[in-house]
Amino acid sequence: MAAAVDIATIARWFTDGSHWQGSDGIPHRLAEHLTICGLSLAVAVGVALPVGIILGHLRKGGVLAENIANLGRAVPSLAILIIAVPFVGIGARPAELALIALAVPPLLTNTYVGMAGVDEDVRDAARGLGMTGWQMVVRAEVPLALPLILAGLRTAAFQVVATATLAAVVASGGLGRYIVDGLAVRDNVEVVCGSLLVVALAVTVEVLIAGIQRLAVAAPLRNPKSYTTDEQLEESVHETVLDPAA
Amino acid sequence: MLGASQPWVEWSWVRTHLHVIRHDLWEHVLLTLIAIGVGLLITFVLALGARAWRPLEGPLLAVCGTLYAVPSIALFALLVPFTGFTTLTAEIGLVGYTLLILLRNLLAGLDAVPEDVRDAALGMGFSRWRLLTRVELPLALPALFAGIRVATVTTIGLVTVTVLIGEGGLGALLYEGFNDNFFRTEMLAGAVLVVVLALAADLALVGVERVLTPWTRREAG
């Protein structure tokens, strides 16, 4: 059995120079983790956002958007991860497939709901201003749907960063290596330190995207409660749609 | 392709390993049932506390939210030094993840009970306890059931991950198939059964809810 886990052993693990260099060092494992997550999220956003925006704009496929969310919950990431191995081999590839499948449902559902939830009056007003369908999407609907789209991105990014830990099961890199390797040899200190790294990364990502949400969402839309009052909705439309500088 | 020479389903393996499959399936169901059962119990106690003393509601939800935000694999792994490779380790994590979903839904359901209904019950001489058990809880059932469904399907998925700490239910089929030189039949059995289990549990809960809340159907129909 390994040394007892307490503040001292954890501190020693983190200050041990050998844990900060080489291919099993924290910087390298963190880079691997972020690469897998970044790639998966980028693909998921590339698929889910256009589909959600188009379906939401056309107000079609609501059942699809809802069922994808339910199906996504019912298919565990570990199952996708392992079933993908015979098709794409071991390493980062199956992990990326599992993470894309994990990230698409919250992105797609939130984008669809945000787009489909844009008030019909707003769409009428946009049409009345002579906007084409495309202009309406870019200048009226997406800005109004942005709070929900970003909430979906936040959920997806958090889940991807957390679940990328599983990649180590199929011989990929990432921070999960410390947990999976530590569990295999019953090295509790390594397990706990690896877990702390994953938690710290997940919290960092969460805070970062919350910051982006704050910056990217039009002021009147930041408080979801204000969304519903007519005056404020008009205000927000004024700001995001009618402002010539926008 | 890894293991390309094998077929996806070797029925002879399935036939000779039915007891293994049954064991893992049962373990999966049991881990889920305990998690949801204990989760519900704790949720009721927390909800009663929050109803009795309103200022408690915010902090309770915040604590459950924080717990929910810990990545599952990290949480299981963090518990291992203290509770070892045991069912208890798995259940602490699994129960922890149900709390936010269940508590939020139960409180929302209780909050949505119309004031008139409450007044009417009190006017009929109902005690606080009877008001809660005979009026408020039944009316909160649809909201609670929405939470139970999400929590159950989520838990069934999470149980697979506990294979890393020596539990896992059907996750064990996935993991052992993978470790046994990518044995496809075993991996596929684990994957298919876990999805089927999740969908079946969801459907069963819809059925139970319909039986328990006949009035919602009358209104809708």
CA A242 → CA A129, A131, A237, A239, distances in Å? 9, 11, 7, 6
Instruction: State whether the Cα torsion B112-B116-B120-B126 is positive or negative.
Output: positive
Contacts of residue B118, Cβ cutoff 8 Å, sequence gap at least 6: B131, B135, B136
A119 touches chain B (CB under 8 A): no
The helix, strand and coil proportions of chain B, stated in percent and rounded to the nearest 5, come to 85, 0, 15
Q: Residue B67 and residue B104: Cα distance in Å, rounded?
A: 14
pLDDT at site B220: 54
> DSSP of B36-87, one letter per residue?
HHHHHHHHHHHHHHHHHSGGGHHHHHHHHHHHHTS-HHHHHHHHHHHH-SSH
For B140-198, write each residue's pLDDT tens digit: 999 999 999 999 999 999 999 999 999 989 999 999 999 998 899 999 999 999 999 99
* ipTM exceeding 0.85, yes/no: yes
Residues in B 42-71 with any Cβ partner in A closer than 8 A? 69-71
Tell me the domains of chain A and their CATH numbers. Answer: 23-242 (1.10.3720.10)
Q: Which residue of A has its CA nearest to B197?
A: A74
pLDDT at site A224: 53
Q: What average pLDDT does the segment B70-87 reach?
A: 92
A7 touches chain B (CB under 8 A): no
Asked if the Cβ–Cβ distance from B4 to A86 is below 8 Å, we say yes
| Superfamily of domain B23-210, CATH level 4 | MetI-like (1.10.3720.10)
Asked if the Cβ–Cβ distance from A163 to B71 is below 8 Å, we say yes
Selecting from B70, B150, B164 the residue whose C-beta is nearest the C-beta of A180 gives B164
A3 touches chain B (CB under 8 A): no
Q: Residue A114 and residue A121: Cα distance in Å, rounded?
A: 15
pLDDT at site B7: 87
Instruction: Tell me the HSE value of B52 on the side-chain side, using a 13 A CA sphere.
Output: 8
**Tokens standing for A13?**
């693990």
The answer to whether the beta carbons of residues A191 and A177 sit under 8 Å apart is no
Asked if the Cβ–Cβ distance from A199 to B70 is below 8 Å, we say yes
- Domain limits of chain B? 23-210
CA angle A158, A162, A163 (to 5 degrees): 115
pLDDT at site A113: 92
